[in-house]
Chain A
């Protein structure tokens, strides 16, 4: 992206320049390369479309017998005609709230410290390497962490196999992604912006608050989108921590009781439905996957809207 401070270069017509230099007007190899790139794009798109088609196609039988609202408001059940996703949506949103409240501020704060305050020494370099490696650690490993720490060690606080354990595990799972993307966004803030701030007598905190963070906000939000998507789709840590898969009834209780109580999440519903007998359950798996995709899309669009908002404010 171009910045405000450097004007764009004069555009040079590549074809004219090449024709003048080499005397050839047709760039066959260039065209072939372009074609290959286009093919790659189409192949990726085709896979995506095929995936969407198979999910929608698989889900159609569900909505022939019952309304969309009935499926959305239904709960876990042993009977395919009553099975629905409301508890899964609730659990997945609960997990996202944990990610938003814990991973987002912690991650951004860590990134600000690493980029703005930490000097380049052995400690900060080690932390950087660790964070980068943590971002690549498979989800199952975080599931084990959740099992031992949140379900085991802190079991009295979290309530064991609870929404809180799942939310905390997911928050930690995505934390490195948030740190890395936020740090990269902060690193991309032009140095003159900071210097101008200092020149006007602002303190470091004031420069970060009024210049660096607003400038980096779109990039930071992109990281959030990625982390939300990951937290929403992961099933492996939930499998290890344990979720309700057959039935989940709750008579309510305080917010804390519910956080400490059993839960289920959308990816788990997909998984459960694929293991039950009969085609009916397989269509329910597709329908649940479709709901998962829609929730993901909604969460992502919200983050993209927020990013656009900050981008507009910047220019």
Chain B
């Protein structure tokens, strides 16, 4: 009695798993037949990943492109510049959005996987140094002051005025310094280190500093930074231009050696604002060569770039840089100049 029941149970289990396998097989063959499609209209799929800062611009471009080419499936996600490059270099994505240039080790990943790419500058952004609206004592900071406040030597700087110990030359208030700034995983952190700190760090500490900035509790996204800045009257931090413009914070002018400059579309465009950075998209060349839809999308993106960028609240690229991107892309599409196309003439 007991044994026969066991036999039945085993048979039933086997039958169930057979059924499961059969279903699996079915669905796979279904996938094969479903993917074939023809027609003169553009079809295919485009997958863009990378920076959450650039995400809205690419999303706007995709939305607009999809309106004219409904046969193209476009997916845009924004896990961050670093994560984006990982996926991009593994060949999972067609486009990587980036709020900074690709790093050497990331480029190495791409090379190891045989992924060739082209870098296209698409927008400008100003790293905006911000403080609380009530903090009227500070209106302009030199790069030396920024270094004194958050540079790698400044771990013990507890008050704004202490920054003078590490090279700050502006008379800063004798008030508590509360830092609300991006964490190290953020492209906004990397850009700030590069634009504001790295040169002075090299002069003061040497080529290989033990760390890039002082230690502080890094925040995950710009909205958190904005809330932190608003919460304390003597706060200090930096965010992307779009975040600073749309929040109630006080923007501090930055002096890169040629006088105080406030961040704005004009000062970013003419290059006078010292902390302006370029936003990029990276396109997988092999995928572009194989996909007319991807080619058409990137061309469309660059042709209407200024509109998407300003709709997303960012600063359009200076005309000559955008033209350089277009020229680089045109060369890729026509299959020319493969050696030159991995870099562009971006400021």
Contact = CB atoms under 8 A, between A and B. Distances in A.
B59 A256 contact: no
B78 A277 contact: no
Interface of B: 9, 24, 27-28, 30-31, 34-35, 43, 47-48, 52, 55-60, 62-63, 66, 70-79, 92, 221-223, 240, 242-243, 245-247, 308, 311-313
Given A272-B78, A277-B223, 8 more contacts: A78-B312, A117-B9, A159-B31, A246-B78, A247-B58, A254-B34, A262-B47, A262-B75
Contacts of B58: 78, 246-247
Contacts of A169: none
Contacts of B78: 245-246, 272, 275
A75 to B, nearest CB: 8
Q: How large is the interface on A (under 10, 10 to 19, 20 to 34, 35 or more residues)?
A: 35 or more
Contact of A274 (B71, B77, B79, B223): B223
Sorted nearest first, the 4 A-B pairs with minimum C-beta distance are A246-B76, A78-B59, A78-B56, A246-B59
Nearest to A117: B9
A242 interface: yes
A156 B35 CA distance: 13
A243 B312 CA distance: 21
A257 B52 contact: no
Given A246-B55, A249-B66, A277-B313, A254 B30 contact: yes
Nearest to B62: A247
Interface in A265-293: 272, 274-279, 282
Contacts of B77: 242-246
B63 A256 contact: no
Contacts of A315: none
A299 to B, nearest CB: 26
B289 to A, nearest CB: 22
Contact of B73 (A82, A242, A243, A249): A249
Contacts of A156: 28
Contacts of A82: 63
Given A251-B73, A275-B221, A257 B31 contact: yes
Nearest to A82: B63
B242 A251 contact: no
A76 interface: yes
B70 A79 contact: no
Given A76-B59, A247-B62, A278 B247 contact: yes
Max chain A C-beta neighbours (<10 A), residue from B70, B221, B223, B242: B223
A78 B246 CA distance: 16
B311 A79 contact: yes
A253 interface: yes
A272 B53 CA distance: 11
Contacts of B30: 254, 256
Given A275-B221, A277-B243, A277-B247, A251 B311 contact: no
A49 interface: no
Interface string A228-259: 00000000000000111111111101101100
14 contacts: A76-B59, A77-B59, A79-B311, A245-B52, A246-B56, A246-B76, A247-B62, A249-B74, A253-B34, A254-B34, A256-B34, A275-B223, A277-B242, A277-B247
A92 interface: no
Contacts of B31: 159, 256-257, 260
Contacts of B48: 246
